Amino acid sequence: MAELLKPRDIERLTHAATMVRDQAYAPHSHFYVGAALLMDDDVIIVGCNVENASYSMCLCAERVAVASAIAAGYRNWRAIAVASVGGVTPCGACRQFLMEFSSDLPVIVTDVIDGTHRVLRLAQLLPDAFDGSRLPSHP
């Protein structure tokens, strides 16, 4: 993931994450999150959190975006943006889910209140990660 993210990429991605946040289904927590993935071909795929009365079934925005990207035929993306009040970083489960596809993805977290963002790295958020290379069947 040596490729540099251009300011324009960051702007497009944070905008998409902020827009899709409006679609979040979060009647239980009232914590609305949007996520957006930037593909190698510059297409953006989005996701929002989807909650359930059975709380443990709640889906985070990041994992919805990844599942949507996979369903659209993508395997590689250049960055993810996550938009929320306070600019939270992805939860542990989402860090692991993202690690399946890219070990050092740029993670842009944006605070929808003041519009500021931070650019982090997945390897920084999930150091010493477990991945498929540890499995005996790995090529």
Ligand X SMILES: O=c1ccn([C@H]2C[C@H](O)[C@@H](CO)O2)c(=O)[nH]1
Q: Rule CB under 6 A: which residues touch ligand X?
A: 26, 29, 31, 33, 49, 51, 58, 60-62, 82, 88, 90-91
Give the residue numbers annotated as catalytic, written as ranges.
Answer: 62
51 known ligand binder: yes
**CA gap 32, 24 in Å, rounded:** 6
**CA gap 55, 42 in Å, rounded:** 34
What type of residue sits at position 90? P
Q: Are strands 117-121 and 106-111 parallel, antiparallel or unpaired?
A: antiparallel
Phi, psi (rounded to 5 degrees) for 16: -60, -40
Q: Are 69 and 37 in contact (CB under 8 A)?
A: yes
Locate 98 and state its tokens: 């993202």
- Least Cβ distance, residue 46 to Zn ion (angstroms): 15
76 known ligand binder: no
- Least Cβ distance, residue 114 to ligand X (angstroms): 18
Q: Which of 94, 75, 74, 76 is nearest to 84 (CA)?
A: 94
26 binds, among Zn ion, ligand X, none (CB under 5 to 8 A by kind): ligand X
Based on CB atoms, which residue is closest to Zn ion, 13 or 125? 125
- Least Cβ distance, residue 79 to ligand X (angstroms): 15
Based on CB atoms, which residue is closest to Zn ion, 85 or 91? 91
Based on CB atoms, which residue is closest to Zn ion, 10 or 82? 82
Locate 72 and state its tokens: 């659209």
2 known ligand binder: no
Query: Which residues here bind Zn ion, judged by CB under 5 A?
Result: 60, 91, 94
Annotated binding residues: 49-55, 60, 91, 94
Annotated binding residues for Zn(2+): 60, 91, 94
